[in-house]
Amino acid sequence: MNIDVSIDAAGPIAPEICPVRPLLDRMADKWSLLVIARLAEASGNRLRFSKLMRAVGGVSQRMLTTTLRNLERDGLVTREVFAEVPPRVEYELTERGKSFLIPVRTLIGWLEANWPDIQRSRELYDQND
Amino acid sequence: MNIDVSIDAAGPIAPEICPVRPLLDRMADKWSLLVIARLAEASGNRLRFSKLMRAVGGVSQRMLTTTLRNLERDGLVTREVFAEVPPRVEYELTERGKSFLIPVRTLIGWLEANWPDIQRSRELYDQND
DNA sequence: CCGAATCCAACTTGATACTG
DNA sequence: CAGTATCAAGTTGGATTCGG
């Protein structure tokens, strides 16, 4: 997604909305949030690849790797490789990654409070037209 | 996205994460958040289609329509059609839609605080390997 | 065990043209 | 003005295979 909302000639963009897209791009993919959640639960906020994969459940190797690379790139997790046989790689939530959980939980709180109503709205909307 | 995280045989799913996906599916699309932001700014949290389209900027008729339908379905906006010539349709943020802005702003706050660091992390990551 | 590479299906979005 | 219809293009995610 490369929408440059900051140079919109048709009108000013809400400053507080504009920079949110990059974050959404990170959160919105299929696995990032689940991965962060799993790491947050783990002791030491740390899991090796295979454990993490089973903890997340349903994720392919490809997508887990991709997701972790992106999270690492953003400084939300660290990646540590151990020179062993068989190889072992551990991922750990950084402080930034942990602090990210706070706003996420706020959002989740809103969802939990509103999700039943939203579902009702959807049913109503779908059955009417 | 139809991942049923609640029946993961490999382990329990964090209850606070599980129901968040439907919300992400709404937030994560390209325009929903911008549309909500534009309506929140407008007087009476209300705009007609054409005004909204120019306010958002860069959105096609097709996507704006789709986005608004989805938001309406979730009870975040209302749609009012006026029997006039030329036709006029106005969209207004509901109370639910307005309350949604609160957690979103929390998230945005985190991003604003962390975005510079994240960008630095990315640059570092990209230039190394 | 971890993950890179390849191929492919599905979904999302955009451009364009047309209508009440 | 406010859509709808159709088609093209880009992006994402899953399956599979292979390598260190």
Task: Give A67-86 pLDDT, tens digit per residue.
Answer: 999 999 999 999 999 999 89
Please give the helix or strand (H or E) that residue A70 lies within, else none.
Answer: helix A61-73
Asked if residue B27 is part of any domain, the answer here is yes
Partner-chain contact B19 A108, CB within 8 Å = yes
Tell if A66 CB is < 7 Å from nucleic strand D.
yes
A129: pLDDT confidence band, cut at 50, 70 and 90? low
Interface contact A8, partner B, CB < 8 A: yes
B25: pLDDT confidence band, cut at 50, 70 and 90? confident
Partner-chain contact B121 A17, CB within 8 Å = no
Domain range for B117 = 21-127
- Residue B79's SS3 state is strand
Task: Mutate one of B2, B8, B27, B34 to test the A interface: name it (highest A CB count within 10 A).
Answer: B34
Task: Mutate one of B59, B77, B110, B126 to test the A interface: name it (highest A CB count within 10 A).
Answer: B110
Asked if residue B8 is part of any domain, the answer here is no
Res B128: pLDDT: 75
Interface contact A5, partner B, CB < 8 A: yes
Question: Does residue B22 surpass a pLDDT of 80?
Answer: no
Question: Does residue B115 surpass a pLDDT of 80?
Answer: yes
B21: pLDDT confidence band, cut at 50, 70 and 90? confident
Contact B107, A107 (CB under 8 A): yes
Distance, in Å, from the CA atom of A7 to the CA atom of A25, rounded to the nearest integer, reads 19
Instruction: Give me the CATH number covering residue A115.
Output: 1.10.10.10
Contact B75, A118 (CB under 8 A): yes
Average pLDDT over every residue of B85-109: 93
Q: Could you give the number of structural domains in chain A? A: 1
pLDDT tens readout for residues B4-15: 333 333 334 444
Asked if residue A39 is part of any domain, the answer here is yes
pLDDT tens readout for residues B31-81: 998 899 899 999 999 999 999 999 998 999 999 999 999 999 999 999 999
